[in-house]
């Protein structure tokens, strides 16, 4: 059990959650005693595999507008609960119209990918500043390569072209992972793989992306946008396309950078991961606990926001960008500007 920043994380299989007046009672047969938390302290419950909430607790969370998310042990989103939708139907109408209009959809898709590539360059350049020799040269060369990928977006005329540029840039970026990891011989980087992740780095990235998705989807729902109607990712049943869209600009600095920091500082060791019979990797219970604590601590960090001309905590960045996207869809701004850092 971990309570951080009004979010309760329950990861131990066999744990049950029950409503007890205005509190949530947490019970596990191997952890006797009374574990009670006032509901008023909680905005979000994140439940990993094997955790069972009672129906009355779920109904109370829905009535209060308190979200509940179910994740696998690897951090993959499985399901979510939200209360009645109170969003502005006019905003959703504007969103749907923009998604169906190439003139509106393509510029948003380009902005999303441009933000991701820009911030990926910053991860490379920031690491290059703190190193030297061949490693520094390789990181700067990849950053220059990503700059050229950014230029390709200026002539893109279809979603397929945009996705093509994004795919090439991602390949270039992940090819530089050995240089981002540095001299730490505990870890190996072999490109991005995710279904399933076949090394600890990809296991950690997948877990953090799961945390990021939960945060972004919650922000979209809070603003009143439809998380399932996107501008870059294809619209499919059960796929939160807009949440996946808005995640892109945050991945490099909020997830990738945290993963690399934890591995390079040896905040995680190989014993925090376990290899499964199918050669996939997953975090151990202790590993997940360590990552969750680091994730929540990182959400307290302030980041510069150029449009707002102020510092914004990482935890609020998805909400800020969701609101800026909503303003653009309503016609209040000419273009959607992704969050980027120089």
Note the pLDDT of residue 69.
82
How far is it, in rounded angstroms, from Cα 74 to Cα 78?
11
Binned at pLDDT 50, 70 and 90, residue 165 comes out as very high
**String of DSSP letters for 300-337:** TSEEEETTTTEEEEGGGHHHHHHHHHHHHHTTSSSS--
Q: Is there a domain that residue 337 lies in?
A: no
Q: Is there a domain that residue 339 lies in?
A: no
Going by DSSP bridges, is the β-strand pair 77-81/67-71 parallel, antiparallel, or unpaired? antiparallel
Residue 151 known to bind ligand: no
Determine the structural domain holding residue 242 and report its residue range: 89-329
* Bond into 196 cis (ω within 30): yes
Find out whether 163 and 149 touch, Cβ atoms under 8 Å. no
Binned at pLDDT 50, 70 and 90, residue 253 comes out as very high
Find out whether 31 and 68 touch, Cβ atoms under 8 Å. no
Among 38, 54, 81, the domain boundary falls at: 81
71 and 113 belong to one structural domain:
no
Binned at pLDDT 50, 70 and 90, residue 1 comes out as very low
**Mean predicted confidence (pLDDT) in 101-106:** 96
Q: Is there a domain that residue 340 lies in?
A: no
Going by DSSP bridges, is the β-strand pair 44-48/7-10 parallel, antiparallel, or unpaired? parallel
- The better pLDDT of the pair 40, 142 is held by 142
Count CB neighbours of 167 within 10 A. Answer: 12
* pTM for this prediction: 0.82
Note the pLDDT of residue 193.
67
Where residue 224 falls (left for φ over 0; alpha for ψ -120 to 50; beta otherwise) is left
Residue 166 known to bind ligand: yes
12 and 139 belong to one structural domain:
no
18, pLDDT greater than 80: yes
Integer-rounded Cα Rg, in Å, for the chain is 21
142 and 66 belong to one structural domain:
no
Note the pLDDT of residue 4.
43
**Mean predicted confidence (pLDDT) in 31-43:** 81
104 and 35 belong to one structural domain:
no
Give how many domains the chain has, as a whole number: 2
How far is it, in rounded angstroms, from Cα 52 to Cα 38?
18
130 and 18 belong to one structural domain:
no
72 and 94 belong to one structural domain:
no
25 and 95 belong to one structural domain:
no
SS3 (DSSP) at 279: coil
pLDDT digits (tens, 9 = 90+) for 256-311: 999 999 999 999 999 998 888 888 888 998 999 999 999 989 988 999 999 988 89
Buried b (16+ CB within 10 A) or exposed e, 30-68: eeeeeeebebeebbbbbbbeebebeeebbeebeeeebbb
Note the pLDDT of residue 268.
92
Q: Is there a domain that residue 154 lies in?
A: yes
Say which residues have a Cβ less than 8 Å from residue 200's Cβ, sequence separation at least 6.
Answer: 187, 263, 268, 270, 272, 273, 281
Among 55, 81, 107, the domain boundary falls at: 81
Q: Is there a domain that residue 97 lies in?
A: yes
Q: Is there a domain that residue 334 lies in?
A: no
77 and 93 belong to one structural domain:
no
Alpha helices for the chain (secondary structure H): 55-64, 89-99, 102-129, 133-152, 159-175, 177-181, 200-223, 241-247, 257-264, 285-298, 317-329
**Mean predicted confidence (pLDDT) in 163-188:** 88
How far is it, in rounded angstroms, from Cα 112 to Cα 140?
23
Q: Is there a domain that residue 293 lies in?
A: yes
171, pLDDT greater than 70: yes
**Mean predicted confidence (pLDDT) in 70-93:** 75
Q: Is there a domain that residue 113 lies in?
A: yes
User: What value does the mean pLDDT of the chain take?
Assistant: 88
Residue 233 known to bind ligand: yes
- 75-89, 163-177, 215-229, range with the lowest pLDDT: 75-89
88, pLDDT greater than 70: yes
pLDDT digits (tens, 9 = 90+) for 198-239: 888 989 999 999 999 988 998 898 788 999 999 999 999 889
pLDDT digits (tens, 9 = 90+) for 55-73: 999 999 888 878 788 877 6
Domain with 249 in it: what CATH number?
1.20.120.920
């Amino acid at each position: 059990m971990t309570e951080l920043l009004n979010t309760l994380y329950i990861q131990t299989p066999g744990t049950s959650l029950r409503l007890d007046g205005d509190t949530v009672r947490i019970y596990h047969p191997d952890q006797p005693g009374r574990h009670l938390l006032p509901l008023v302290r909680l905005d979000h419950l994140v439940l990993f595999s094997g955790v069972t909430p009672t129906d009355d607790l779920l109904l109370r969370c829905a009535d209060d507008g308190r979200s509940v998310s179910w994740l696998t042990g690897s951090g993959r989103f499985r399901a979510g609960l939200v209360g009645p939708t109170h969003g502005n139907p006019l905003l959703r109408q504007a969103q749907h119209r923009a998604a169906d209009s190439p003139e509106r959809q393509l510029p948003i898709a380009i902005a999303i990918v441009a933000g991701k590539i820009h911030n990926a360059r910053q991860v490379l350049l920031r690491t290059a500043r703190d190193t030297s020799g061949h490693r520094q040269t390789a990181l700067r060369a990849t950053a220059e390569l990503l700059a050229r990928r950014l230029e390709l977006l200026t002539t893109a005329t279809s979603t397929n072209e945009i996705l093509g540029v994004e795919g090439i840039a991602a390949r270039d970026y992940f090819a530089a992972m050995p240089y981002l990891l540095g001299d730490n011989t505990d870890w190996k980087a072999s490109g991005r793989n995710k279904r399933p992740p076949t090394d600890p780095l990809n296991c950690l990235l997948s877990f953090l992306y799961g945390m990021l998705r939960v945060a972004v989807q919650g922000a979209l729902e809070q603003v009143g946008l439809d998380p399932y109607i996107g501008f870059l990712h294809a619209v499919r049943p059960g796929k939160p396309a807009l949440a996946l869209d808005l995640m892109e600009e945050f991945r490099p600095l909020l997830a990738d950078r945290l993963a690399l920091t934890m591995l390079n500082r040896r905040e995680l060791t190989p014993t925090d991961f376990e290899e499964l019979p199918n050669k996939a990797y997953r975090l151990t219970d202790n590993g997940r606990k360590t990552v969750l604590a680091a994730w929540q601590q990182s959400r307290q960090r302030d980041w510069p926001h150029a449009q707002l001309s102020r510092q914004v905590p990482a935890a609020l960045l998805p909400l800020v960008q969701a609101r800026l996207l909503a303003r653009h869809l309503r016609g209040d701004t000419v273009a959607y500007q992704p969050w980027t850092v120089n």
